[in-house]
Structure 1
């Protein structure tokens, strides 16, 4: 495809707006938008700058002027809409989770492979310049042998019992909420940045509120507010993760520390303008900018001088730009695809099973979604 792909966005909420901004930044147009009703689509079309309001998601998918279908709807609808878009030969950008079951996620991945269409999932934290810098430095062996991988992802948007959302309902959001919504982001980022893959987990889930208020009525909550897990990786590291959507004062704090025998690399999404590099004899807060980052990956996504932080929307813009480049026949490095969405579904299922059984659970593999990760000889020896 020589010309810029044209977008159709299904979903009129917050994520639809994020996708729309990224589409326009990529230099593309939004041909149509669809919502839960034609009326909601009409309101969103004006707000998002779409050409028309489609009568239904199916009508949007069928349009000749839609090349890429963006699915920004509640989780339980993703699989059906993605199937229809793939069957129509359209490229797909599907919000995570790709599906609320491993079976659906696996089927979608196989359908994409057979159809030969581009299909991506917005694991957008991969696109922070500091993350790419850490990835490249780890890949060339600067960390030494990674042995401890730990971090957290904390939010507070569900801190009060009066706060609720469709994600709280397992019929719409899936059996796991906190981990399935944000914990999978951390796990994807860890595996992408380090080249390690989680092979076993031990998890506990918990709730701050057993009931939440909906329309003035208290209802029981079936999904978790938080999760704590231990894990082991295929390269011999151990790790831990704390996930919460009920941590007052933490708006969107994704934090990691990847500790090696020679150096550690740490990143905080609420302060994305620095990468912390720790060594036994020094500690550096590396400013993010094209003049200060040293690796190809870091510089590629650093578009502003140091002191001008790039945030979530900037990373989302970069993800969509790379997705559209792939539709045009390019091969952007590190683009998260439906295979990565399947990986997240496998991790989520393992977490749910581990928490229910109170035991370690093995995480099955799906081949190697991170085969493009280039290890230095020193790091490669860890795999042997």
Structure 2
């Protein structure tokens, strides 16, 4: 494998361009891009600055000048393309959801085994999130008893089309939770070390809204509201982790700070503050006062994936196992919504 990793990106929409930026930030090169037709592939290659287009996704995966495959396609294509990339012996970054069904997601995770195969749960890479995780792990919050928050967007408000995400085979009746609800759950489980073990969910609005109450394996209860029709909420991913000694609050639309709630006072810890941990400092790449955002998180995720390809073991890298975990949560939300009962989350 070349010292400079050569990436192939399948899918040339918004998220494909985000991947292309992250490849370059990680020191790689975008070798090839494949879209839905050869003509669109050529246009996409010019737009994102790839070395060359690929006529098809399969040609891209099999190409000798592609070392790592980024899958940024509609959901239903994730499984066959990821399988082909793994069969070709290539590391894979696959957009979530890893699969449209739990069995397929588990099978992909099993197939990946110990190989580098990751899913972009990129909100893990905000320094404030790493700071909350470090403080919880150090016991500074005391036992956590309540985990709550929301992930609210408005891009489907006012009857706006869901595009391919609204199709039955791509997300359909539970698309908001499968699309962004899994981000919230992954972030809270990652930050707290808790696992959601049972839940009660209600889904409405043709799949654009889900409300979920849950319990965890460490004795906490919680809730989250997931919506893609909340007017004025562009990308409001928020959580609060409430413990006996402290509470930690994070808002992705204001990502430079972590709220630390205490009995005597509340404090705001800014990115780059001397009070932050080494775990947070590793991802604080700009001087304080120069905001870091979503693309910076994506860059860090891809950089850590590429480091893993090189033999390192970055802490907190989300893998296909985490993608399968997200699929288990989606499966439980579907079962609970359709049965109007509490259900166990498949382990």
TM-score, length of structure 1 as denominator length: 0.89
Contact preservation (8 Å) 1:100, 1:174 = no
Q: Distance in 1 between matches of 2:259 and 2:93?
A: 32
What is the CA distance between 1:347 and its match in structure 2?
0.2
Contact preservation (8 Å) 2:174, 2:208 = no
Q: Distance in 1 between matches of 2:2 and 2:274?
A: 35
**3-state SS, counterpart of residue 176 of structure 1:** helix
Kindly indicate whether residue 136 of structure 2 is the aligned counterpart of residue 153 of structure 1. no
What is the CA distance between 1:171 and its match in structure 2?
1.6
What is the CA distance between 1:6 and its match in structure 2?
1.2
Q: 1:324–1:174: structure 2 CA closer, same or farther, 3 Å change rule?
A: farther
**3-state SS, counterpart of residue 254 of structure 1:** strand
Q: 1:278–1:162: structure 2 CA closer, same or farther, 3 Å change rule?
A: closer
Q: Distance in 2 between matches of 1:62 and 1:148?
A: 48
Counterpart selection for 1:310 from 289, 292, 316: 292
What is the CA distance between 1:169 and its match in structure 2?
1.1
What is the CA distance between 1:162 and its match in structure 2?
3.6
Q: Distance in 2 between matches of 1:21 and 1:353?
A: 38
Counterpart selection for 2:115 from 114, 117, 129: 117
Q: Distance in 2 between matches of 1:251 and 1:148?
A: 26
What is the CA distance between 1:175 and its match in structure 2?
4.8
**3-state SS, counterpart of residue 149 of structure 2:** strand
Kindly indicate whether residue 266 of structure 2 is the aligned counterpart of residue 268 of structure 1. no
Q: 1:293–1:25: structure 2 CA closer, same or farther, 3 Å change rule?
A: farther
Structure 1 residues 259-296: Cα deviation after superposition (integer angstroms, max 9, x where no partner): 0000000000000111000000010111112x435212
- Map 1:84-123 to 2 at 5 A: 84-113=84-113, 116-123=114-121
Match for residue 186 of structure 1? 184
Match for residue 212 of structure 2? 229
Kindly indicate whether residue 321 of structure 2 is the aligned counterpart of residue 323 of structure 1. no
Counterpart selection for 2:281 from 299, 320, 339: 299
Q: 1:64–1:275: structure 2 CA closer, same or farther, 3 Å change rule?
A: same
Match for residue 324 of structure 2? 342
Q: 1:34–1:339: structure 2 CA closer, same or farther, 3 Å change rule?
A: same
Q: Distance in 1 between matches of 2:275 and 2:98?
A: 33
Q: Distance in 1 between matches of 2:286 and 2:34?
A: 34
Q: Distance in 1 between matches of 2:77 and 2:158?
A: 27
Match for residue 63 of structure 1? 63
Match for residue 25 of structure 2? 25
**3-state SS, counterpart of residue 171 of structure 1:** coil
Contact preservation (8 Å) 1:100, 1:175 = no
TM-score, length of structure 2 as denominator length: 0.98
The number of residue pairs the alignment matches comes to: 347
Counterpart selection for 1:137 from 135, 138, 143: 135
Q: Distance in 2 between matches of 1:229 and 1:10?
A: 33
**3-state SS, counterpart of residue 226 of structure 2:** strand
What is the CA distance between 1:40 and its match in structure 2?
0.6
Q: Distance in 2 between matches of 1:325 and 1:296?
A: 19
Match for residue 251 of structure 1? 234
Structure 1 residues 233-265: Cα deviation after superposition (integer angstroms, max 9, x where no partner): 000000000000000100000000000000000
Match for residue 284 of structure 1? 267
Q: Distance in 2 between matches of 1:162 and 1:17?
A: 23
Q: 1:42–1:248: structure 2 CA closer, same or farther, 3 Å change rule?
A: same
- Unaligned 5+ segments in structure 2 are none
Match for residue 206 of structure 1? 204
Q: Distance in 2 between matches of 1:80 and 1:146?
A: 40
- Unaligned 5+ segments in structure 1 are 208-222, 366-384
What is the CA distance between 1:364 and its match in structure 2?
1.7
**3-state SS, counterpart of residue 280 of structure 1:** coil
The worse-fitting range, judged by mean Cα deviation, of 292-301 and 349-358 is 292-301
Q: Distance in 1 between matches of 2:192 and 2:21?
A: 30
